[in-house]
Copies of this chain bind each other. A is one copy, B any other.
Amino acid sequence: MALMTGKEYIASIESLDLEANVLGQRTGELPNHPLVQPSLRAVAVTYDCAHDDACRALFRAFSPLVGDEVNRFTHLYQSADDLVNKVLMQRHCGNLTGCCFQRCVGMDALNALDSVTCEMDEASGTGYHDRFRRYLQYVQEGDLVADGAMTDPKGDRRLSPSQQADPDLYVRIVDRRPDGIVVRGAKLHQTGALNAHEIIVMPTRALSEQDQDYAVAFAVPADAPGIVMIYGRQPSDTRKLEGGQIDVGNRQFGGHEAVIILDDVFVPWERVFMAGEHAFSGLLVERFAGYHRQSYGGCKVGVGDVLIGAAQALARYQGTERASHIKDKIVEMIHLNETLYACGIACSAEGQPTPSGTYLIDLLLANVCKLNVTRFPYEIARLAQDVAGGLMVTMPSEKDMAHPEVGAYLEKYLRSVERYTTEDRCRMLRLVENLTLGPGAAAYLTESMHGAGSPQAQRIMLARLADLEEKVRFAQKLAGVRDQGPDG
């Protein structure tokens, strides 16, 4: 089975009939639009790595389902080692792109659906698992990118889906037909949506019986009728349209998010993986979120490496590399970044098989991982700004640098250590700006906060998963106190 190269992947996305679906004042923001291209190139890296001798082994895995090697981004985790390799692969992609490479969310959705459909079938006699496996075979054979779409708009946070003033504020089944279902609603924050072949929709929260129409999971092609994508904007996004190379910070790569509207989209039954089984909605959310919280222990660490490298490079260019306080800050950045990595590795290494055979990370540790991700990248970014210096936000534009008269002034006065050029220094400053205040920060900071669930979601999981009663018993035994159980 031939795995696609990045170039083939880009061609495959460009061949989608997205024009009708991608709407807005900023129409034309299709894959070949300069705003979108960097994010498409970032996804392409996940393809090219499977052909790069230095890392192809890491990016490929043998899939029993198709009896052949697949790109690991479409793979079901068969072992704890597979889970660990996922993290290594993600860190590597972060290192190469310095941004979100957008393909994890689909991988995590596929793995979550695999085990949940299996357990749903066991409990309810439904036939979702076989159906899902056939769909997965299609994804693996096509080496496709899937967008994993979970987050609903949610409206008033105090109200359940069916209590909302507008019943469409969570995706729901509006019609059940012999050949499939019709769904309506929207999914927000859809990372890389315009770069995906497929969209996999899942519910966003645990649901009770009165919300059973909201318990729906399915896959649709990205260019299915009724799908509307509205491109999101990021800090400093339009620098990509200025035609320069420096101010954009990260010349080649970037990410994007979109709002996806499902305007009465028809989904044939063979692509439906949950339709009313509200009791399994929470489990699916927990599994998907768990996998995705693990992911951040890889991808954000990879981006962190880039930011540490940029800070170190600037210290070198500016003559502060040997100052003890600078060295100390670099060490602190490393320490925080590797702590995130340790969490990613630990929840993977402690992974266990689910009934479907697919491995699940240790959920407690995956939540610990993500909760740290909501904190440490912010501190790493703060330290990077400390090391980089204020010029990052006061420096004139690259057009000024290219201007004959003004450029000469800047060349003269922004020069630092003789060995390095003024331009190199400015380029590196713009990379730090990109990652801490620009489009890169949308992914490295804000997405670290809210992606895969906001910090409070992780805290709730920690409260639930930590065996507090056991800890109380340990303490009572040592204190010589009789156990009376929890207060009733």
Cβ of B328 and Cβ of A459 under 8 Å apart? yes
Cβ of A310 and Cβ of B412 under 8 Å apart? no
Cβ of A341 and Cβ of B335 under 8 Å apart? no
Q: How far is the CA of A12 from the CA of B190 in the complex (A)?
A: 49
Cβ of B316 and Cβ of A339 under 8 Å apart? no
Question: Which of A397, A428, A475, A484 gathers most chain B CB within 10 Å?
Answer: A475
Query: What is the 8 Å Cβ interface bit string for chain A, positions 447-488, against chain B (1 contact, 0 not)?
Result: 101110011100100110010101111111111111010110
A204 to chain B, nearest CB (A): 13
Q: How far is the CA of A312 from the CA of B470 in the complex (A)?
A: 11
Interface residues on A, range: 35 or more
Q: How far is the CA of A24 from the CA of B398 in the complex (A)?
A: 10
A236 to chain B, nearest CB (A): 5
Which B residues are CB-close (under 8 A) to A409? 23, 186, 228, 230, 259, 261, 263
A475: contacting residue among B154, B233, B306, CB under 8 A: B306
Which B-chain residue is minimally distant from A439 (CB atoms)?
B393
Which B-chain residue is minimally distant from A151 (CB atoms)?
B390
Q: How far is the CA of A488 from the CA of B382 in the complex (A)?
A: 28
Which B residues are CB-close (under 8 A) to A355? none
User: Which of the candidate stretches A47-55, A69-77, A281-289, A419-427 sits at the interface with the other chain?
Assistant: A419-427
How many copies, total?
4
A235: contacting residue among B233, B236, B263, CB under 8 A: B236
Is A159 an interface residue, CB under 8 A from the partner? Answer: yes
Cβ of B413 and Cβ of A259 under 8 Å apart? yes
Which B residues are CB-close (under 8 A) to A7? none
Is A418 an interface residue, CB under 8 A from the partner? Answer: yes
Subset of 8 A-B contacts with CB under 8 Å: A23-B409, A189-B394, A323-B456, A331-B459, A341-B346, A385-B446, A386-B455, A390-B450
Q: How far is the CA of A166 from the CA of B345 in the complex (A)?
A: 47
Cβ of A487 and Cβ of B316 under 8 Å apart? yes
Which B-chain residue is minimally distant from A415 (CB atoms)?
B155
Is A169 an interface residue, CB under 8 A from the partner? Answer: yes
Known pairs A306-B474, A325-B459, A339-B343; list 4 more (Cβ under 8 Å): A24-B406, A26-B400, A97-B478, A327-B463
Asked if A95 meets B328 with Cβ closer than 8 Å, knowing A26-B399, A391-B188, the reply is: no
Is A251 an interface residue, CB under 8 A from the partner? Answer: yes
Q: How far is the CA of A96 from the CA of B471 in the complex (A)?
A: 10
A364: contacting residue among B338, B418, B481, CB under 8 A: B338
Is A374 an interface residue, CB under 8 A from the partner? Answer: yes
Cβ of B316 and Cβ of A486 under 8 Å apart? yes
A11 to chain B, nearest CB (A): 25
Q: How far is the CA of A409 from the CA of B153 in the complex (A)?
A: 12
Which B-chain residue is minimally distant from A344 (CB atoms)?
B346
Which B residues are CB-close (under 8 A) to A207? none
A129 to chain B, nearest CB (A): 30
Cβ of B23 and Cβ of A405 under 8 Å apart? yes
Is A349 an interface residue, CB under 8 A from the partner? Answer: yes
Is A105 an interface residue, CB under 8 A from the partner? Answer: no
Query: What is the 8 Å Cβ interface bit string for chain A, positions 158-186, against chain B (1 contact, 0 not)?
Result: 11000001101100000000000000011
Asked if A382 meets B393 with Cβ closer than 8 Å, knowing A335-B371, A479-B428, A479-B430, the reply is: no
Which B residues are CB-close (under 8 A) to A378? 378-379, 382
Which B-chain residue is minimally distant from A396 (CB atoms)?
B230
Cβ of A320 and Cβ of B157 under 8 Å apart? yes
Which B residues are CB-close (under 8 A) to A308? 468, 471
Chain A 109-166 interface residues, beta-carbon cutoff 8 Å to B: 153-159, 165-166
